[in-house]
Structure 1
Amino acid sequence: MSNPTESIPARVPPPTKHQLALMIWLCVFPTLTAINLLVGDWLSPMPSVLRTFVLATIAVPIVIYGLMPHLHGFRARLVSRKRQEG
């Protein structure tokens, strides 16, 4: 029988504020770019505040619920791999 502590992965520390800022940027920039390319013509006649509201309303759920969990998982695997090598 194997040691039970071997099967439990070590907890990965939360990202630093600089890592989190980079992760957010990596999600937000492409999302906003894609949304602008898809609906930019439709949004162009709107006042800038309304346009920003629409973009944020579309982008925030995509980033928070769609992209960030995957990026956090990727970061966790990367950090775990570095710990195993080091």
Structure 2
Amino acid sequence: MSDQQSRVAGPPTKHQLALMIWLCVFPTLTVINVTLSDWLAPMSAVLRTFVLATIAVPIVIYGLMPQLHKVRVRILTIRSNS
């Protein structure tokens, strides 16, 4: 990310960050739930939640959120240059 893009975009607001997290977390949990539904079914709700969070959090934090931040910066940079 260039210095100019950083200045244009700045950090996300609380509302933008909440939306970005939701956009990453909901589909990730849905895919994991559907994919592992047979394996997760016999587990208690607490254990199932622990397994889902253990798988989903690294995917969201290290895989999806950085990509979504880049998309956000590109969108804001394009808007500011228009």
Identity %: 67
Structure 1 moving runs of 4+ over 3 Å: none
The two structures, once aligned, show a CA RMSD in angstroms of 1.3
Give TM-score, length-normalised by structure 1.
Answer: 0.87
Number of aligned residues? 79
Q: Would you say 1:58 and 2:51 are equivalent positions?
A: no
Q: Would you say 1:9 and 2:4 are equivalent positions?
A: yes
Residue 24 (structure 1) aligns with: 21
Larger relative helix fraction: 2
Measure, in 2, the Cα distance between the counterparts of 1:35 and 1:75.
25
Gaps of at least 5 residues in structure 1 are: 1-6
Distance 1:21 1:48, change over 3 A: same
Measure, in 1, the Cα distance between the counterparts of 2:48 and 2:32.
11
| Larger-Rg structure | 1
